[in-house]
């Protein structure tokens, strides 16, 4: 039941998330008075401070997408056979040793998949930032996908925006391939053989 509640932010549309957090971070009537000091803005104007607006956007996007990754890890840990932990306990392994020797190797596929999803997703995500700050104040929250969007559809410089799009696709592909090669994901065999 609690897992379903944690999954609700991901089910909300980006527009709903943006409106919710824009209201919450409003310095006049929102919760910015409580959240602002956590981000270092004593007056509560988090979205109006160029130094803290990007941190606020990271908080908002994290609030929306971390539950998805938590559920991935939760599902992966439930698939680890209890017999591995029982055998380790018989051999005298403590909780820390069990984590490093059983849990972490069993979660290797999930860690790689989650990392690729986070990196590639961050290279394509801009909707909530566009709706909350529009890239401001100034250019403090103008991430590359938002810059590409504004260049193409506000300034009508489609060629320049297309060049940024090609660079983002190339960067996303390179990061994905890099993670797969560095982690040996393509050579991973099943860890559950013989169980």
Domain parsing of the chain, residue ranges: 2-187
Say which CATH topology domain 2-187 has: MetI-like fold (1.10.3720)
As a whole number of angstroms, the distance between CA 145 and CA 71 comes to: 27
Average pLDDT estimate for 103-117: 90
Higher pLDDT, residue 136 or 1: 136
**pTM for this model (two decimals):** 0.81
Whether residue 137 is preceded by a cis peptide bond, meaning omega within 30 degrees of 0, is yes
Count of C-beta atoms within a 10 Å radius of residue 140? 19
For 33-63, write each residue's pLDDT tens digit: 776 677 676 677 888 888 888 888 998 999 9
Given this model, what pLDDT does residue 194 score? 46
For 139-174, write each residue's pLDDT tens digit: 999 999 999 999 999 999 999 999 999 999 999 999
Residues 6 or more apart whose Cβ sits within 8 Å of residue 8:
67
Given this model, what pLDDT does residue 187 score? 64
Count of C-beta atoms within a 10 Å radius of residue 151? 19
Given this model, what pLDDT does residue 191 score? 56
For 68-88, write each residue's pLDDT tens digit: 999 899 999 999 999 999 999
């Amino acid at each position: 039941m609690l897992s379903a509640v944690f999954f609700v932010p991901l089910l909300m549309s980006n527009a709903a998330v943006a409106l919710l957090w824009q209201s919450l971070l409003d310095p006049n009537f929102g919760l910015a008075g409580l959240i602002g000091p956590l981000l270092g803005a004593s007056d509560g104007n988090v979205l109006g401070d160029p130094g803290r607006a990007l941190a606020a956007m990271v908080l908002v996007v994290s609030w929306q997408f971390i539950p998805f990754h938590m559920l991935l890890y939760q599902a992966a840990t439930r698939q680890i056979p209890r017999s591995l932990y029982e055998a380790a306990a018989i051999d005298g392994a403590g909780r820390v040793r069990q984590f490093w020797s059983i849990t972490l190797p069993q979660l290797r596929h999930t860690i790689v998949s989650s990392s690729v999803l986070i990196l590639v997703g961050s290279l394509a995500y801009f909707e909530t930032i566009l709706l909350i700050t529009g890239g401001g104040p100034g250019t403090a929250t103008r991430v590359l996908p938002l810059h590409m969007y504004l260049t193409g559809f506000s300034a009508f410089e489609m060629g320049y925006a297309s060049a940024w799009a090609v660079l983002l696709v190339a960067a996303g592909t390179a990061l994905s391939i890099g993670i797969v090669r560095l982690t040996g994901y393509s050579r991973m065999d099943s860890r559950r053989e013989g169980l």
